[in-house]
Amino acid sequence: MGMVGGGRGAFIGEVHRMASRLDGQIELVAGAFSSDAEKSRLSGQDLFLDPDRVYASYEEMAEREAARPADERLDFVSIVTPNHLHYPAARCLLEHGFHVVCDKPVTHRLKDAVALRDLVRQSGQIFALTHNYTGYPMIREARERVQRGELGELVKVVVEYPQGWLLEDIDQQGQKQAAWRTDPQQAGASSCLGDIGTHCENLVHYVTGQQIAQVCADFTTLVPGRRLEDDAQLLLRYENGMKGLLYASQVSAGEENALRLRVYGTQGSLDWQQENPNELILKWPDRPRQILKPGNPYLGAHAQAGSRIPAGHPEGYIEGFANLYREVARAIRDRQSGTDNAPYDFPTIDDGLAGLRFIATAVHSAQSDGKWTPLIEV
């Protein structure tokens, strides 16, 4: 594996590195860790990498790694930069023949997501998007229960992701992670919805299989001087007639990462909370609720395969990422050996494009004073 971004002072880069090496199938051997050449060099030194494979730019890395013999060159590259660099980095790497793993959202502009989708299709390369919550065993169990029809006809979904870390103007005080997320040039047209609301959109689609048809959005910017929204509430209409509520906030005092999904059907419902990820609650109108936990034989095979340790031992954030990386490794091995064991369970470029369409539609609705807005066509 190679990496773009994730150098000294970054947060998500180390998360990706920990997750990718958890199963012993992926080794980080190269990187362009910063747009600052010296910082990239020092970051590579921190990671004990060969100095000859630590680069000043992703362009240099792509060109030099592509020139290596097939048994020495990188298999794939993980992109963990701010949003505005996702597209040019991914484009460069795909054009040089590398598979790509990219942090979300896939790009910071819808037109770039469309162009990237087309390029992925043309290249035939593997492209994975790290919506990491889809890697949680109990989310995979939730999807299987829905697919089996245990909840009946789906009628309503409520999904929320409140945080409180941007309640103060730390972005205007130079806090790195806050500054780029609230900068339209780096984050795109949305801050809160783009950063965490896309997790909500993706999680609902993953579990229910349903696509959004219309959006009615209300954005708020609570902190004076902030250029993008820090709170969003949306009404959703899905193609199958299901209705939805989505609440994402970075200014909800006292909240940490309280992602929660509730799906209601005509025969039952389910409830999952990210801060207690090892419990999936099933609720029924005619019998007691059930609490399902990882590592138990009553779960489906897909959920069981997502756990690495016996029941009763907590797993969570890193392991969710790791499940995606393990699937990427499986897909790349199959590609190299000429076999096909699809499907592979990781979000793709199509999921990334869906997220950008969702953001663009919600922004348009919010700017139209909450007008119902059909999902933007591409």
- For the stretch 327-353, pLDDT in tens is 999 999 999 999 999 999 999 999 999
Global pTM value: 0.96
Cβ count near 335 (within 10 Å): 15
The amino acid present at 152, given as its one-letter code, is G
pLDDT band at 70 (very low <50, low <70, confident <90, very high): very high
- Decide if 219 contacts 231 (C-beta within 8 A): yes
Question: What whole-number distance in Å separates Cα of residue 174 and Cα of residue 169?
Answer: 9
Averaged over 6-31, what is the pLDDT? Answer: 96
pLDDT reported for residue 286: 96
- Does the CA dihedral 197-200-203-208 come out positive or negative? negative
pLDDT reported for residue 288: 98
Beta-carbon contacts of 174 under 8 Å, excluding residues fewer than 6 positions away, are: none
User: To 10 degrees, the CA torsion angle through 144, 148, 150, 152?
Assistant: 120
Whether 33 maps to a domain, the answer reads yes
- DSSP letters for 296-355: -TTS-HHHHHT--S-TTS---HHHHHHHHHHHHHHHHHHHHHT-------S--HHHHHHH
Residue-wise burial string across 19-30, b where 16 or more C-beta atoms lie within 10 A, e elsewhere: bbebeebbebbb
Domain boundary, last residue among 91, 113, 129: 129
pLDDT reported for residue 337: 94
State the CATH number of the domain containing residue 201: 3.30.360.10
Residues 220, 360 within the same domain: yes
Taking the CA atoms of the chain, what radius of gyration do you get in angstroms? Answer: 21
Closest Cα to residue 308, out of 22, 99, 116, 68?
A: 22
Domain count, the chain: 2
pLDDT reported for residue 43: 98
| Domain housing 241 | 153-265+353-367
Element (H, E) at 19: helix 12-20
Whether 313 maps to a domain, the answer reads no
Domain boundary, last residue among 129, 161, 190: 129
Residues 121, 158 within the same domain: no
Q: What percentage of residues in the chain have a pLDDT greater than 90?
A: 98
pLDDT reported for residue 219: 98
Question: What whole-number distance in Å separates Cα of residue 202 and Cα of residue 324?
Answer: 14
pLDDT reported for residue 368: 96
Averaged over 101-106, what is the pLDDT? Answer: 97
Residues 6, 124 within the same domain: yes
* pLDDT tens digits, one per residue of 190-247: 999 999 999 999 999 999 999 999 999 999 999 999 999 999 999 999 999 999 999 9
State the CATH number of the domain containing residue 53: 3.40.50.720
Cβ count near 321 (within 10 Å): 22
Question: What whole-number distance in Å separates Cα of residue 156 and Cα of residue 151?
Answer: 11
Residues 36, 93 within the same domain: yes
* pLDDT tens digits, one per residue of 279-301: 999 999 999 999 999 999 999 99
pLDDT band at 170 (very low <50, low <70, confident <90, very high): very high
